Amino acid sequence: MSSLTILTKEKLTDCIHLYVDVFNSPPWNETWTVGSAEERLSDLVSTPKFRGYTLHIDGKPAGFIAGNAKRTSKGMTFYIAELCVDPSIQGKGIGSTLLSHLEKELNREGIQSIYLLTSPGSPAEGFYERHSFTKNDNRIIMHK
């Protein structure tokens, strides 16, 4: 049995452990600790215009999606900051369910533009392309 719920600060614990499991595994191979993941996700939940949803299967967190809305010169857009799915059940529609639910909620609120960042050539890039996301040729990512 699956259930989709709104992600709140009070419900972050399961997401923190899932985040560490997902992003410390291939292809990301990052070095998250429970403490650093807790800080990142707590900060995200505290962001103005935050939205997030968690999908549980048989009471266990299977995945979550989270981000925040932002004003642009053309109206409101939504930034997907995180989409995590338990690695042991990836490819079974969890990410698609979360993304679809988020899109429906945003559409209902009049937000029709969504953007995100991901690694080129990663499985995530293909996932988003299959869901009609395209690369933005008008922007580049720079860092120092």
pLDDT band per the 50, 70, 90 thresholds, residue 1: confident
- Domains observed in the chain: 2-130 (3.40.630.30)
Q: 40-46: list long-range contacts, CB under 8 Å, 24+ apart.
A: 41/12, 41/15, 41/16, 41/66, 41/82, 42/9, 42/12, 44/68, 44/81, 44/82, 45/7, 45/8, 45/9, 45/12, 46/9
What is the residue whose two structure tokens read 């004003």? Answer: 71
Per DSSP, the three-state class of 16 is: helix
pLDDT band per the 50, 70, 90 thresholds, residue 143: confident
Span 18-45, average pLDDT: 96
Inform me whether the pLDDT recorded for 137 exceeds 90.
no
Q: Give yes or no for a contact between 114 and 106, defined as CB atoms under 8 angstroms apart.
A: yes
- Model pLDDT, residue 86: 96
Span 101-127, average pLDDT: 94
